[in-house]
């Protein structure tokens, strides 16, 4: 006699008939079945049954990103991402020109069937849910120049507040694609699949970070990636179908989760950047590697702490501008959130700051010893951050450590 097929798992179980769970409740269910995220070895025999149930993840994605799409007059991405199930043979299937990409993208529609069409049987619904959770979360990158002494005091706990010498805050977007920048043209040459990595690219990197210049041997180049809103920070009041009077939400879990999460944080010293820039080839193993762009600009790859993630930076030396006479300005904080300031004014401020910082460095080096005269101001423009999707998803769901603030 054939074995009895196990009954499918209903997302709405535990709720009254016809009642749709809120995003907070859906996220709580997802967390219970995401304990293997980030593990280097996956034992499918130990995985929860629901984690292996494609129908469960199909329904979660439908409720979270199709039927439960939030819209309250704010700009929101209407793209839905789907990961192909690599265990399904698509040789005889018309994939609509998707080619060999491990994922495909569709515009949002009120019904999932209208979004996905005949592709449904070929989708990995679990990975698709996590990819959308990441893609629909809001992120900011902070690039800062900090003193080495200040970082050491902060790491040792002697100083709680880390005050950067200069910083730039920029909104970035998570994408399963990466951009292959051509430094000589300052334009994106092509877009290629990055999945299973997630890429956070800065298209206007040369303008955005034009004033980020390392001018002292005590300077360190710091990069932070923070998640601060979107799909992973659900607000039940945004859902018109939510009936809060009949719900029991895990308040302890909500309160434990910070309103901002740091997914990547790392820094390198001026000396390390300088040596890589001078060498023109890898010298730092897992920490720094380098490949040449045009003669004046080098592309440096920095590995994150513990080898986790990769940061791509365009580094260029600043020419001597000592003939200009002007005082070094106070620290300038440049943020894309600034209101009432035109883009032209912001870029002018950034270019002026870079020029004056370079002049100051040259003047300082000229008045010191012979070894100090070799100091070269280095402009560091962040191009992208890449992280494995499983690490991002795990941190978004479970990380409770306070965020790193600059």
Q: How do residues 136-184 score in pLDDT, each as one tens digit?
A: 999 999 999 999 988 888 777 776 677 899 999 999 999 999 988 877 6
Q: Could you tell me the pTM of the whole model?
A: 0.75
- Whether the Cβ atoms of residue 299 and residue 293 lie closer than 8 Å to each other: yes
Select from 316, 280, 270 the least CA-distant residue to 296: 316
How does DSSP assign 188-231, residue by residue?
Answer: EEEEEE-TTEEEEE-TTHHHHTTT-EE-STTEEEEEEEEEEEET
What's the pLDDT tens digit per position in 206-240?
899 999 999 999 999 999 999 999 998 886 444 44
Inform me whether the pLDDT recorded for 43 exceeds 50. no
Q: 81 vs 287, which has greater pLDDT?
A: 81
The count of other CB atoms within 10 Å of the CB of residue 324 is 11
- Percent of the chain scoring above 70 in pLDDT: 62
CA dihedral for 113, 114, 117, 119, sign (positive or negative): negative
- Provide the CB-side half-sphere exposure for 235 (13 A, CA): 9
Give the per-residue pLDDT at 33: 85
Beta strands, E only, 36-118: 79-84, 103-107
pLDDT on residue 161? 73
CA–CA dist 365, 369 (Å, integer): 8
Per DSSP, the residues of 290-340 read: EEE-STTEEEEEEEPGGG--EEEEEEEEPPP-TT---PPPPP-EEETT--S
pLDDT in tens, 323-375: 333 333 433 333 333 433 333 343 344 445 555 555 554 454 444 433 444 78
* Residue with more model confidence, 187 or 278: 278
Cα–Cα distance between 133 and 127 in angstroms, integer?
10
Taking all residues of the chain, what is their mean pLDDT, rounded to a whole number?
73
d(CA 128, CA 109): 16
Annotated domain spans of the chain:
23-135, 138-230+259-398
């Amino acid at each position: 006699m054939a074995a009895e097929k196990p009954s499918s798992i209903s997302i709405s179980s535990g709720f009254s008939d016809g009642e749709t769970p809120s995003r907070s409740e859906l996220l709580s269910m997802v967390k219970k079945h995401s304990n293997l995220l980030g593990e280097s070895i996956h034992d499918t025999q130990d995985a929860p049954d629901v984690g292996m149930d494609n129908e469960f993840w199909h329904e979660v994605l439908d409720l979270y990103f199709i039927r439960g799409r939030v819209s309250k007059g704010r700009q929101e991405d209407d793209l839905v991402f789907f990961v192909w199930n690599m265990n399904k043979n698509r040789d005889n299937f018309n994939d609509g020109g998707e080619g060999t990409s491990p994922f495909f993208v569709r515009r949002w529609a009120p019904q999932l069937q209208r979004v996905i069409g005949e592709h449904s049987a070929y989708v990995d619904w679990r990975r698709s849910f996590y990819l959308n959770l990441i893609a629909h979360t809001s992120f900011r990158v902070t690039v800062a120049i900090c003193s080495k002494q200040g970082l050491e005091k902060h790491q040792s706990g002697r100083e709680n507040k880390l005050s950067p010498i200069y910083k730039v805050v920029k909104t970035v977007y998570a994408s399963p694609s990466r951009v292959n920048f051509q430094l000589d043209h300052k334009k994106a040459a092509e877009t290629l699949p990055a999945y299973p990595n997630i890429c956070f690219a800065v298209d206007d990197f040369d303008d955005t970070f034009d004033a980020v210049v390392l001018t002292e041997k005590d300077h360190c180049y710091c990069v932070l990636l923070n998640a601060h809103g979107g799909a992973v920070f659900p607000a039940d009041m945004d859902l018109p179908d939510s009936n809060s009077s009949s719900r029991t939400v895990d308040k302890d879990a909500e309160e434990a989760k910070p309103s901002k999460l740091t997914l990547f944080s790392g820094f390198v010293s001026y000396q390390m950047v300088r040596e890589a820039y001078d060498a023109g080839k890898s010298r730092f193993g897992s920490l720094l590697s380098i490949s040449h762009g045009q003669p004046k600009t080098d592309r440096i790859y920095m590995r994150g702490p513990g080898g986790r993630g990769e940061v791509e930076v365009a580094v260029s030396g600043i020419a001597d501008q000592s003939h200009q006479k002007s005082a070094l300005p106070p620290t300038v904080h440049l943020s894309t959130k600034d209101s009432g300031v035109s883009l032209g004014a912001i870029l002018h401020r950034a270019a002026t700051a870079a020029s004056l910082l370079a002049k100051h460095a040259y003047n300082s080096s000229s008045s010191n010893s012979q070894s100090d005269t070799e100091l070269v101001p280095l402009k560091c423009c962040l191009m992208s951050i890449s992280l494995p999707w499983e690490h991002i998803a795990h941190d978004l769901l479970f990380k409770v450590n306070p965020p790193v603030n600059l």
